[in-house]
């Protein structure tokens, strides 16, 4: 018997795909595709810490990457049984009732507020402060399972900032969806925001979802925070799913595009660093560091022992994140890789100038 699976990793700059032997773990083929609009610096403004990504970058790059990784392994295609994926987070997007990101509609095609708000976007600093201030005087501290501090990089901060600053987007946004939830929905063909399966990782670590709260923060808390959030909770979700659950089977459209069998299972998505920990064979009480554009520190522990232990200052402790059935904990350093990239540019500046001068002289 032979069975293969495809792993997709949507990073900050590119999407990566690999075909893996499900029995041995052997990586058979890999491919990488750069996001073309992102590579041009479109829809971003570093001076204001605004970083947005167009949904077409994700769709087009995913299709090219999958075709590139599948082309050399046609003999194995009939034995590919599943696709799972991870993305950056929190990277949410406003969607209409059908779950279509607003940037895919003609009237919002060039509006950064209608696009995915990349994890490292910091335009919502003020909103994060308001959330933290409100949580500390509420009868329930909805930030307590998020380390006690809510970040401008996370779901509610970003949503609230866009709703406040862009009335047109606010009027058209039926709901909001995380990147790691939207990509499986695209592949299954069911993007309806009230039906697609939401990731436990993203919900618990980025949106203050917890069983103790019966899901997301209460309607009363959200409406008190800002009337723009009135009714939003019921347009989001109550239930969340761990990464061992299927989001559905591949749509006929995508199966035909990729030449895959029609019963390929699509896994519920997760945050990229968490799947990195899985790939590193994380075990209880062992810290795994995944280092990229940012660095993510992760640890898992038995849920029955540490369920009610609150740890301050981390980026969440969630039942079933990273490894289903375990308590998943995350911390880290945002923009870790970006800092190194900046440092590289600084120290290489004389070489760049020298090279440019030499080229000018030669001309």
Band of residue 338 on the pLDDT scale cut at 50, 70, 90:
confident
**203 has a pLDDT exceeding 50:** yes
| Residue 85 CB partners (closer than 8 Å, separation 6+) | 7, 8, 9, 10, 180, 183, 184, 267, 269
Band of residue 343 on the pLDDT scale cut at 50, 70, 90:
confident
Band of residue 140 on the pLDDT scale cut at 50, 70, 90:
very high
Return the residue matching tokens 């909805």. 142
Q: What is the mean pLDDT of residues 327-331?
A: 94
Residues 245-272 pLDDT 10s: 999 999 999 999 999 999 999 999 999 9
Give pLDDT, residue 293: 74
End-to-end CA distance of the chain: 63
Whether 14 contacts 35, CB under 8 Å: yes
Return the residue matching tokens 């990504």. 53
| Residue 355 CB partners (closer than 8 Å, separation 6+) | none
Give pLDDT, residue 356: 63
Give pLDDT, residue 40: 97
Q: Please, what is the average pLDDT of the chain?
A: 93
Band of residue 349 on the pLDDT scale cut at 50, 70, 90:
confident
Give pLDDT, residue 359: 47
CA distance 196 to 188: 9
What domains lie within the chain, and their CATH numbers? Answer: 4-284 (3.30.420.40)
75 vs 240 pLDDT, higher one: 240
CA distance 331 to 297: 5
**292 has a pLDDT exceeding 90:** no
292 vs 37 pLDDT, higher one: 37
Q: What is the mean pLDDT of residues 265-282?
A: 94
Residues 50-70 pLDDT 10s: 999 999 999 999 999 999 999
């Amino acid at each position: 018997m032979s069975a293969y699976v495809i792993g997709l990793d949507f990073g900050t700059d590119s999407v990566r795909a690999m075909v893996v032997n499900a029995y041995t773990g052997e990586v058979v083929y890999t491919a990488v595709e750069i996001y073309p609009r992102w590579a041009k610096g479109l829809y971003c403004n570093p001076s204001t810490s605004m970083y947005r990504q167009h949904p077409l970058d994700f769709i087009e790059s995913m299709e090219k990457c999958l075709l590139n990784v599948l082309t050399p392994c046609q003999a194995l295609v009939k034995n590919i049984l599943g696709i799972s994926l991870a993305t950056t987070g929190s990277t949410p997007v406003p969607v209409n009732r059908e779950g279509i990101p607003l940037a895919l509609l003609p009237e919002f095609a060039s509006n950064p507020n209608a696009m995915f708000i990349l994890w490292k976007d910091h335009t919502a600093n003020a909103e994060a402060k308001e959330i933290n201030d409100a949580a500390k005087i509420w009868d329930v501290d909805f930030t307590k399972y998020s380390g006690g501090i809510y970040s401008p990089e996370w779901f509610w901060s970003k949503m609230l900032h866009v709703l406040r600053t862009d009335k047109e987007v606010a009027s058209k946004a039926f709901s909001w969806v995380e990147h790691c939830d939207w990509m499986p929905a695209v592949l299954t063909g069911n993007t309806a925001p009230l039906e697609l399966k939401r990731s436990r990782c993203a919900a618990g670590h980025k949106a203050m979802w917890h069983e103790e709260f019966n899901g997301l923060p209460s309607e009363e808390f959200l409406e008190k925070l800002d009337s723009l959030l009135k009714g939003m909770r019921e347009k989001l979700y109550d239930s969340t799913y761990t990464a061992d659950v299927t989001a559905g089977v591949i749509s006929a459209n995508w199966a035909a595009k990729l030449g895959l069998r029609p019963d390929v299972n699509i896994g519920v998505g997760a945050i990229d660093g968490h799947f990195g920990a899985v790939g590193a064979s994380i075990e209880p009480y062992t810290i795994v560091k995944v280092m990229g554009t940012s660095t993510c520190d992760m640890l898992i522990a038995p849920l029955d022992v540490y369920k009610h232990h609150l740890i301050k200052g981390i980026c969440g402790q969630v039942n079933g994140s990273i490894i289903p059935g375990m308590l998943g904990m995350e911390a880290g350093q945002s923009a870790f890789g970006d800092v190194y990239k900046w440092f590289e540019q600084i120290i290489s500046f004389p070489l760049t100038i020298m090279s440019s001068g030499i080229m000018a002289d030669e001309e």
